[in-house]
């Protein structure tokens, strides 16, 4: 039985972003910027996660474009299976990542890693195993 949201020691926030793995990050950024007219960030290296990122701003949410940083990147593995790229994960905001980790763990939802890492926005993040989340890789980001 799920507990009521008021019983939780953390609060789930808004959808922060949808991440899309792309085979050509410059081409993908240009499509959102030049064709669709979106505000698009510069490409940033995220060595702790093995990726390059570009953010496409869409009001109060974003699209995160992901490109592998080397052959050992988890995004390279994804692109090896999905040559044209595709949706990689969704990111949801939480107000207390450590309490969120305790709550999901109590529900037998596995995290990828034992402790949060600092994500692309400079805030703690943790990923939840897709097999425990209806086939979707879910990132929790503390706000």
pLDDT tens string 4-14: 555 778 999 99
* 75 and 64 Cβ atoms separated by less than 8 Å: no
Tokens of 107: 């529900």
Tokens of 102: 């305790």
For tokens 């490409």, what's the residue?
A: 43
**CA distances, 98 to each of 66, 71, 89 (Å):** 26, 31, 20
Q: Say whether pTM exceeds 0.95.
A: no
Q: 24 in helix, strand or coil?
A: coil
Class of domain 10-142: alpha beta
Q: Give 48-77 pLDDT, tens digit per residue.
A: 899 999 999 999 999 999 999 998 999 999
Q: Which residues pair with 40 in a beta bridge?
A: 56
Instruction: Give the pLDDT of residue 38.
Output: 98
């Amino acid at each position: 039985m799920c507990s009521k949201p008021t019983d939780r020691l953390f609060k789930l926030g808004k959808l922060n972003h949808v991440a899309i793995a792309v085979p050509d990050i410059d081409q993908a950024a240009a499509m959102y910027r030049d064709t669709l007219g979106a505000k698009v960030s510069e490409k940033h290296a995220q060595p702790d996660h093995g990726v390059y990122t570009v953010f496409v701003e869409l009001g109060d949410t974003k699209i995160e474009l992901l490109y592998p940083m080397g052959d050992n990147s988890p995004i390279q593995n994804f692109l090896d299976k999905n040559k044209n790229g595709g949706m990689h994960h969704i990111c949801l905001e939480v107000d207390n990542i450590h309490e969120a980790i305790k709550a999901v763990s109590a529900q037998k939802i596995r995290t990828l890693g034992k402790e949060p890492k600092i994500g692309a926005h400079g805030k703690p993040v943790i990923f939840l195993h897709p097999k425990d989340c209806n086939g979707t890789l879910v990132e929790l980001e503390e706000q």
